[in-house]
Structure 1
Amino acid sequence: MMQFPVHIPFIQALGVELVRIDEGEAELRVALQEMHRNSFGVAHGGVIMTLLDVAMAHAARSIHRDRPDFGPGVVTVEMKTSFMRPGEGELRAVGRLLHRTATLAFCDGEIFNATGERLAHATGTFKYLRALPSEGRGIKPLQRRLEGSGSD
């Protein structure tokens, strides 16, 4: 497994692993645990959508591999998700960059189970940002990966 280019505490808490990040693609994996399940005992839709969101965002950032921390960050502008099958066991998310402009990335992503069945599909639009305005109009920079912290 690889380290994520930036520190994402939520993803780390979910136990998501970065498998690869290539030119225009990214792949993540997570082994479902009790905390990932809904009341039916399968992957919660929020977990599926989070995997898709992060896979697509990393696909968008992958084109900046030559820059520190993979260049500017991205924020999700919009996302549409279709759920096809319930998620169980280990899930694999694949994100792809379809098209980009100077400020926007258009991506799609899919979730697969261990046997390769497609569980969900998403499309998303992401905006490239160097920093994010937050409360009180302050600026939030990207959180750099913490050295020695393992697989962020």
Structure 2
Amino acid sequence: MDDSANDAGALHFGRRVPFLSTLGLKAGQMRQDEATVQLPFRPDLANSAGALHGGALMGALDFAMSAAARAHDPGVMVATIDMRTSFLRPAQQDTSIVAHCVQRGRSIAFCEARACNAAGELVATASATFKLTSAS
């Protein structure tokens, strides 16, 4: 599943999430237990040191993992229960994120993600637990 994220009304893997448009997040691919996203670097997303603000990166990581959690059934709703992020180096350019659902039960999913810069260097890792609910 591919969509573009160019404005607040854009779809991100079938969902309208205005915050993701604010970040400029671009949905990549969503497959069984995996999702990819791109977070283009912009100066207005930078921290005082000129690198991508950790909050912007965490938002992108959270979304990528939530998409991986529901990749088996895009109609499922997810809510983040817990998230842990480790920042390894400053992200000073476009960032690519690959997220995987490593375990899913009836109501809980466990996911991991890796964020890399344009040079392929690892800038952050994350893990999260999500509550799964029906969309109705």
Displacement of 1:129: 2.1
CA contact (8 A) 1:2 1:17 kept: no
**Letter of the structure 1 residue corresponding to residue 127 of structure 2:** T
**Structure 2 partner of 1:50:** 59
Measured after TM superposition, the shift of residue 72 of structure 1 is 1.5
Kept after mapping to 2: 8 A contact 1:42/1:86: yes
Could you state the TM-score of these two structures normalised by the residue count of structure 2?
Answer: 0.89
Which residue in 2 is equivalent to 1:85? 89
Give the structure with the higher percent helix. 1
Q: Which has the larger radius of gyration?
A: 1
Structure 1 runs (4+) deviating above 2 angstroms are none
2:2 is matched with: 2
Instruction: Identify the residue that residue 117 of structure 1 maps to in structure 2.
Output: 121
Note the C-alpha offset of 1:2.
2.2
- TM-fit CA distance, 1:130: 3.2
Residues 124-143 of structure 1 aligned to structure 2 (within 5 Å): 124-130=128-134
Once the two structures are TM-superposed, the CA of residue 45 in structure 1 deviates from its matched residue by: 0.5
Determine helix, strand or coil for the equivalent of 2:21.
Answer: helix
Superposed CA RMSD? 1.4
**2:34 counterpart (25, 35, 52):** 25
Instruction: Return the alpha-carbon distance in structure 2 between the equivalents of residues 60 and 50 of structure 1.
Output: 15
Q: Which runs of 5+ in 1 are unaligned?
A: 65-69, 132-140, 142-152
Q: Percent identity?
A: 35
Which consecutive residues of structure 2, in runs of 5 or more, have no partner in the other structure? 4-11
The Cα of 1:50 is off from its aligned counterpart by 0.8
CA distance in 2, matches of 1:100, 1:31: 30
Deviation at 1:111, TM superposition (A): 0.5
